[in-house]
Amino acid sequence: MPDLSAKSPFELRVNLGSHVPETDVRAAIASGDVGFVHSFTSGSTVDGPGVRVVAWLTGCQFRCLYCHNPDTWTMTNGIPVPIARAVDQLKKYRHGLKVMRGGFTISGGEPLMQHRFALKLFSAAHEMGIHTALDTNGALGERLTDTDLETIDLVLLDIKCWDEQRHRDLVNADIGPVLAFARRLAARKRPMWLRYVLVPGLTDDLADVEHLAAFAGELGNVERVDVLPFHKMGEHKWKQLAMGYRLHDVEPPSQELVGQVCARFRAAGLSAY
Ligand code: SF4
């Protein structure tokens, strides 16, 4: 059985669940009794408040050009993990997380591809008294009932860009369901952090950022905005998977550009970092 722990999500993991018959994959998704997991990592300080243990689930319906973890697109690249084993893995960190006032984040991939498994893990985390956060692209938010939303202490909503066409070109999906989920979280007063990956030439249009900032500022539930500078730590995965990586020549944004984007969010009344 492959080790569930990883030093970082940038470890390439493929075909670890490819032996699972498709009917069993479907049954796992429907029940949440088994999940497909890239890894568990610990020590993150960027995936929610405090120090986080993060479960990286596999499966994603987006195809972001800058994706750092394209091995997580395919669900069966992940390790098939019975829910009890995943809960045991989380238990290992229970005391440390309490001492450090940290928490548990589910990321991916797109965790809502396996929403029942994710919800079971969140429930177990709450029983252990651990803060929960969901890092999501938001497009499958409809899968969560209002009651489900109460089991998630914080949603880290990744909004990829504002302009509809640019969004489609960047991630191969529409932005509408993402914004609908953001509005629903706001209507239900669920705490949210907005995450925005800043990629020179792709998501650095300041007028677009202003529109997004105005939208986020009016929601009323956005506690902070994290502007995440583009990096190429996942480029090796694209190469190893023989996938064409189109951002090889794109450099990380300058500090000045990061500052300009943060300033747009702050001008809309938001805390941006
Ligand atoms: S939503 Fe996340 S995991 Fe999915 S393609 Fe985009 S960056 Fe990658």
pLDDT at residue 174, rounded to an integer: 97
CB-ligand 1 contact for 230 (6 Å cutoff): no
pLDDT at residue 199, rounded to an integer: 98
37/120 Cα distance (integer angstroms) = 14
Residue identified by tokens 């489609």 is: 168
Mean pLDDT per 10-residue run, the chain (273 residues)? Answer: 87 94 96 97 93 97 96 97 97 91 96 98 96 98 97 97 97 98 98 98 97 98 98 93 95 98 98 97
pTM for the whole thing?
0.96
How many residues does the structure list for the chain? 273
262/253 Cα distance (integer angstroms) = 12
CB-ligand 1 contact for 67 (6 Å cutoff): yes
What's the gap in Å between 136 CA and the centre of ligand 1?
9
What's the gap in Å between 70 CA and the centre of ligand 1?
7
The answer to whether the beta carbons of residues 249 and 220 sit under 8 Å apart is no
